[in-house]
Structure 1
Amino acid sequence: MRFLRHFIGLILAMTLWAPATGAPLDAYGGLPSIQQIEISPDGTRLAVVMSEGETRVIGIKTLPDGPMQAFGVGDVKIRDLDWVGSDDLIITTSRTGTIPGVISARDEHHMAYRLNLVTRDVKPLLSGSLSRSTTGSRMRDANTNMGASLNTLAGSPEVRMLNGKPTLFLRGITFPDRYGVLTIFEMDMKTNRPQLVEAGTVDTRGIVLGPDGKAFARSEYDDKTGRWTLRLRKGAAWIVSRSVEARNDRPYTLGLGRTGDSVIVAEPHETGTRFYEVTHEGWGAPLEIVDADNMVRDPATRLLIGHYALVGDESRYTFFDPADQAAWNAVRAAFKGDRVRRASWSYDRRKIVVLVDSVTEGPAYALVDVSTRQAMWLGGRYQRLAPEDIAPVKPVRFKAADGLSLTGYLHTPYGREARNLPLVVFPHGGPASRDTPGFDWWAQAMASRGYAVLQVNFRGSDGFGWDHLRAGFGEWGRKMQTDLSDGVRHLAAEGVIDPKRVCIVGASYGGYAALAGAALDTGVYRCAASVAGLSDLRRFVNWSKDRNGLSAFRYWTRFMGAEENRDRVLAEISPASHIEKISIPVLLVHGRDDTVVPLEQSQLMADALKKAGKPHELVVQKGEDHWLSRGDTRIQTLNAVVTFLETHNPPR
């Protein structure tokens, strides 16, 4: 291995492991050895989230060769890290539960904690009473009538420099009129108490802070009427900049623009998403940004300096300043042949932590010093995997039965000729998401057991333009499904796979696709494994409507092709309604803490299969959410799926 530094070993005693017989499944399915690395604003420290089994540790490494401090956090689900200066680290965590007397439904709640490296104290944020704001008389008056504030976050923490010092802002929820509203707080780092900056209304969906730390823009959405509104602050008033009916594809704000008096708005359009830089002077022409996945911002000012997109199979950063572009191009050139993503950078943008995804060695972190033009390896994400444990991945292109051009990725077992292989079709979730050519722990694990693994960016996938996304509307269980089996037929015609040895495995929407492969697109697969998948679409859309409102209901029914929740099409494309057509074994895996697709969906399917005498297995996971956030249940899922595959579709 080329990874020169593995400082995680200083804390967890981990070493690179290269067994002659191949890595065990838990080397793929366990939590990554390194989950995240954030560099401090001054570039002198690294905060590293490390794990071994369910044990997580936050390590603070002083650069270049200083000691490592370790802070054990147990099995807490860490979602993000943010530095406030060089001595305070904000840790965002989440857990599943209810809020008694406020929110009865179980949900995934995010909370923020402050770790001070001087005192080594860890304190929860948004847990105390509100302090009076100093941002204006309106907010000072409102502060006395805000009611209780939840200790949960309603968005990511935001740190920016104000008056020469780092300042932390948190998005929370207050109850001025018994209804929860989005609220912005500034944290007083001396007292650890929040100060109210801005409270929205019941329809507020986003608040953008200006360079002075005051609210500059606010977006609102009426779930019943489908009307979206953007307001800009002018003095003490909020002026409507634009108001449109957007029942399905509503615009959304993306933070400040290139200047402090502008805000970026993304507006869905028939030709793809358009990005506008909006000021009090108006909207103007859209920016020359095509299919951007993320905005790139100055870490200190939060002003827009570029954007990121996955163009085809290539990760591409575009910067407005030629000097910034040249610096990034130099970073990219240092890792020729690998995919490179920016993980974090110092405020002067001269020290950059990058995640390098090697086609032969998997993903690893490196630290690049732009000033000295030197790079230092920090450690691999999956340190128990050797090069011979990494399956080769190549793009595939084919046409669906109706002529639509489709793309995807094929994993093949390391060291084996890609001929007459057993196949696992592995559709992604979403469905408005996409597969990428990077390292996928689940696909890699199945390939390591002798299977070819096909990931298809079927119609309805995001990231390929509006036409490709729109082609999926109304195609659940129909062409979105046959796009997958068209991929099977393509690989069979090429001689890559044995069409008699094909199974389908998926999670979330991919879990639905697995069940639909068994019940709707029959004759293609020998077995089907669904993780947190949907089986009864009518029950699901009604549950989602009650939980998330009309906009969520409209989103799902447009993809499903339904007009309303009693539409017969929902039964027509529900796997649970076609149990009699299932002739292959089915595996169902679902977490009790799933707040995206309820456990009921797998239980309904299992009950129907049992009643019909169909071969099946149901694995219910205690304490697991929709995203397989726990290492033990990730491993449990992987073991169950691979055992199921090897039983019903042996690799040899």
Structure 2
Amino acid sequence: MCAYHTQIAHAEQPTSNQTVQQLPAEAFGSLPDVSNVRLSPDGNHIAFVQRLDGKEPGSVISIFNVADKSQIYPIRTDNKRFRITNLTWANNDILLVKANFPATRYGTPVTESRLVKYSLTEKKMSNVLKKSVMKRFKWIPQFQSNVIDYLPEDDEHILMQFRGMGNTPEYPSVMKVNLAGGRSHWVQPSRRDVWDWITDRQHTVRIGIYRDDTAYRIYEQSENKGDMRVLWEFEAFEENVIWPVGFDHDPNILYVNSYVDGYKALSKVDLRDPELKLELVFSREGRDVNPSLVYSRAKKKVIGFTDGDDSDYTFWDNDLTKLANGLDKALPDFNNEIISLSDDNRRYILLTTNQTESGTFFFGDRDTQDLAPFAYRYRALPPELMAKTKSHIYKARDGQEIQAFLTTPKGVEAKNLPLIVHPHGGPISFSNAGFSNWSQFFANQGYAVLQMNYRGSIGYGFDFMKAGIAKWGQQMQTDVEDATRWAIEQGIADPKRICIVGGSYGGYAAMMEVATTKNLYQCAVSFAGVMDVEDLVKNHRNFTNYDIVKKQVGDDFDVLYENSPVYHAKNVDVPVLLIHGEKDRVVRVDHSEDMYDALKKHNKDVEYIELENGTHYLTNNKNRVATFKAMERFLAENLKSTTQL
């Protein structure tokens, strides 16, 4: 394979005795410069979301013409009324745009979604669902953006699923939607307790995912509206789960994600086999695989998958393996991820990242052998100023090995440093050694950063994940404390300069740490943190996943409240910063408001910032920057960083 002609500048690295420039909070806290980069099926246009600064900040969709280098900006948002969450090309002319916005239904705060389209030829934007179609619903669906099949051989239609129709309107039906504004019709009626539908590569609705309380069944039918047979039955969060991932071109071959020897793996099954024997396709020793399939229209087969664990691609197609190997040879020091391919697999978008590189998007052309930078995820974060992250293993108090990641300020020895303990959210999520704008922000400010994958984190097998089910405030919590004490014992952390900072579940963990330990932390920051676990569970009573939430978090409300930071407010003896968005639909703003009141009642040192129009994911740039600036100030007031000594 010929070497790619890359056009990427390598900045000069500072020597160890040079002072690393301290960047403003805006550089780390702002929304990405560019995100959601998508290549059209013919490879001639690139669509992406671009951040807007200035007097009218927000985000804009940009569409770049590869041939003549022209650019248009068809859709703009201030990220307050709605936020763009995903872009997908329905065909070479129509770009589909998914948008979310906060709303209230029957007094319950919710998130709504809609799908709009932009036509290159007509040069106009419109709703995908016409008014005539909406009249057929018994109620306006909350989610109007769930495309289950883009019908790549049919430029005029897509398949979408909605609730609000048929004899069981509380469950989704599948509709064939005409993108040109003509007739749309139902192809699959709803069935009681079937919450999701999956099509095969011939676009027949084949798989129905049934849930009743916490019991799941995976159904299969040979045709739309056909008789259904049970493939597998299992309970949520149990080891015998078998989740459909998608079909190969052969409509009888289904890929699934299931546990093999205690770890998630990718397998496939021939649905004609009466025993439904699983054939292992890919696994990792001692780690989970959370796959999404990569299907080639040109080759009419599944050619590989992307692993949700670290976003790496694994190809078993020789042609694509050759491409991936060539990219790794051309860019050897990066994680190289092909995020978008043209239908003929000749043009592609590549995203390169590593510990210090926030992300560069390349446009690649295999016919011309060109590979050129197209856009940067965070232009204001030059790699030469970013810090390195190292993986460590520490032992929890019961002997369980836990993986942690330590980021230290650039050019500073990892000894006696001010430390930010930074547990991840989720809690069924994970931290890794990849680029993190939060960790890099703290490190650039002069603090070491310690992240840990406490029990309940994904990626480490069934037993490790299961140890976090209904265990809030228990071993999940002591794993965080043990990481902090490990950093002290190793001489990494100055025991008099430690702050714990987290968001969502991480905010919960931060507040529980300072509420249940003494003389370990000097301050705490919670962004959108859960302060009352009992209230978190009860707030899901009006939602269809209530039973799942009870099983995951717990249903003994006395225990949940006792394992809540708000219950222990009187024990908090360090300064606290609480930040929360007023329109948070994941963890309601009441959590931080109640925690603030409880701390004030006991005359504790607490500051509370409520973000106007703020969401759980800091989707508004003004709120993001305000959050980072508030943390910068608060940490400077309560810890001395290496830049302050």
Q: Give me the TM-score of the superposition, normalised by structure 1.
A: 0.87
Q: Which residue among 295, 300, 304 is the counterpart of 1:298?
A: 295
Distance verdict in 2 for CA 1:189–1:569, change over 3 Å? closer
| AA of the residue aligned to 1:180 | E
Q: Distance in 2 between matches of 1:35 and 1:528?
A: 31
Letter of the structure 2 residue corresponding to residue 233 of structure 1:
S
Q: Pick the aligned partner of 1:257 from 248, 251, 261.
A: 248
The question of whether the paired residues in 1 share the 8 Å contact of 2:313 and 2:338 is answered with: no
Q: Deviations over 1:69-101 (max 9, x none)?
A: 2224132411111112222111111101035xx
2:440 equivalent to 1:451: no
Aligned residue in 2 for 1:604? 594
> Following the alignment from structure 1 to structure 2, what is the Cα–Cα distance between the partners of residues 128 and 193?
11
Q: Is the counterpart of residue 155 in structure 1 residue 161 in structure 2?
A: no
How far the C-alpha of 1:649 sits from its partner, in A, is 1.4
1:238 aligns with 2:227: yes
> Helix, strand or coil for the counterpart of 2:434?
coil
- Deviation sequence 1:289-320 (CA, Å, 0-9, x none): 33322322225488533222266xx6542223
Q: How far apart are the structure 2 equivalents of 1:330 and 1:241?
A: 44
SS of 1:366's partner is: strand
Partner amino acid, structure 2, of 1:55: G
Query: 1:58-69 to 2 correspondence within 5 Å?
Result: 58-69=61-72
Partners of 2:264 and 2:290 within 8 A in 1: no
Match of 1:543 among 525, 528, 539: 539
Report the more deviating stretch, 424-433 or 397-406: 397-406
* Aligned match for 1:112, one of 103, 112, 115: 115
**Mean CA deviation greater in 180-189 or 104-113:** 180-189
TM-score, normalised by the number of residues in structure 2:
0.88
Q: Percent of pairs identical after alignment?
A: 27
Does the 8 A contact of 2:28 with 2:437 survive in 1?
Answer: yes
CA distance in 1, matches of 2:224, 2:622: 54
The 1:3–1:544 alpha-carbon spacing in structure 2 relative to 1, beyond 3 Å, is farther
- In the alignment, what sits opposite 1:126? 129
Question: Any residues of structure 2 matched to 1:454-493 within 5 Å, and which?
Answer: 454-493=450-489
Q: Deviations over 1:521-580 (max 9, x none)?
A: 3321111111111112122222224434443233333xxxx5x333x3223321111122
| Alignment partner, residue 309 of structure 1 | 307
Is the partner of 1:362 in helix, strand or coil? Answer: coil
Residue of structure 2 equivalent to 1:187: 177
SS of residue in 2 equivalent to 1:287: strand
Q: How far, CA to CA, are the matches of 1:509 and 1:384 in structure 2? A: 29
Paired residue secondary structure (2:540):
helix
* 1:595 maps to which of 572, 579, 585: 585
Aligned to 2:35: 35
Equivalents in 2 of 1:64, 1:593: separation in Å? 42
- Deviation, structure 1 residue 276: 4.1
In the alignment, the residues of structure 1 paired with residue 370 and residue 212 of structure 2 have an alpha-carbon distance, to the nearest angstrom, of 51
Deviates most, 435-444 or 230-239: 230-239
Does 2:269 match 1:271? no
Contact residue 429 and residue 509 of structure 1 kept, 8 A: yes
Total equivalences in the alignment: 614
Q: State the 1:422 CA deviation.
A: 0.4
Cα distance in 1 for residues equivalent to 2:174 and 2:185: 9
1:391–1:413: 8 Å Cα contact kept in structure 2? yes
2:609 to 619, 622, 635: 619
Aligned position for 1:141: none
Structure 2 residue aligned with 1:214: 204
CA distance in 2, matches of 1:534, 1:579: 13
- Supply the distance in 2 between the matched residues of 1:357 and 1:316 (Cα, whole angstroms): 11
CA contact (8 A) 1:248 1:551 kept: no
**Which residue number in structure 1 is paired with residue 632 of structure 2?**
642
Contact 2:163 2:172 in 1 (8 A): yes
Change (3 A) 1:417 1:391: same
CA distance in 1, matches of 2:88, 2:344: 16
- Which of these residues, 563, 567, 575, is aligned with residue 577 of structure 1? 567
1:177 shift after superposition: 3.8
CA–CA separation in structure 2 for the residues paired with 1:617 and 1:541? 26
CA distance in 2: counterparts of 1:33 and 1:427, whole angstroms: 26
Asked if the contact 2:257–2:290 (Cα under 8 Å) also holds between the matched residues in 1, the reply is no
Query: Does the 8 A contact of 2:253 with 2:268 survive in 1?
Result: no
Stretch deviating more after TM superposition (361-370 or 623-632): 361-370
User: Quick check: 1:504 aligned with 2:500?
Assistant: yes
- Check the 8 A contact 1:352/1:367 in 2, yes or no: yes
In the TM superposition, residue 149 of structure 1 has moved relative to its aligned partner by: 5.4
Aligned to 2:12: none
CA distance in 2, matches of 1:307, 1:359: 23
1:148 Cα deviation after fit: 4.9
What do the CA deviations read for 1:492-538 (whole angstroms, capped 9, x no partner)?
A: 23322212210000011101001111112332111111111111212
